[in-house]
Amino acid sequence: MRQAALALALAAGGCGDPNVTEDFRSVVATGGRETVQVPARDLAETMARTGFTRQEILDHGPAIRNALAVQGGAEFRRDGAVAALFSVMDGSLYVVSRRGGTYVHDLSG
């Protein structure tokens, strides 16, 4: 009887609300107003201006660029906390970063 109760408790403990699960990815695509293929050079420049290290640009830039192209927005997490938000709107790339504040980069030219 005890073994059955223990098995039931362990099985129930493994069930959880999927809305409460934690996401440990560094880059998460978010919905934006428009999707655009941001030139790699523009994204790297914008990331550098908003406090990203060179290594972070190399490691996470491609995923951020892909998220902007597919969903129109990206959320970057550092140590489990949101460190920056990226979004494209009206031909400009908007970045809000904990390290570097807010920056708007014109993508039209």
In 3-state terms the chain splits into helix, strand, coil percentages (rounded to 5) of 35, 30, 35
Beta bridge pairs of residue 95 = 86, 103
Q: Where are the alpha helices (DSSP H) in 1-109?
A: 2-14, 40-49, 54-70
User: What is the spatial distance between Cα 46 and Cα 69, in angstroms, rounded to a whole number?
Assistant: 16
pLDDT in tens for each of the 109 residues of the chain? Answer: 555 444 444 444 555 555 444 556 799 999 888 999 999 999 999 999 999 999 999 999 999 999 999 999 999 999 989 999 999 999 999 999 998 899 999 998 6
Task: Please give the model's pTM, rounded to 2 decimal places.
Answer: 0.76
Judge contact between 48 and 57, C-beta under 8 A: yes
Residue written as token pair 């293929």: 37
User: What is the spatial distance between Cα 99 and Cα 92, in angstroms, rounded to a whole number?
Assistant: 20
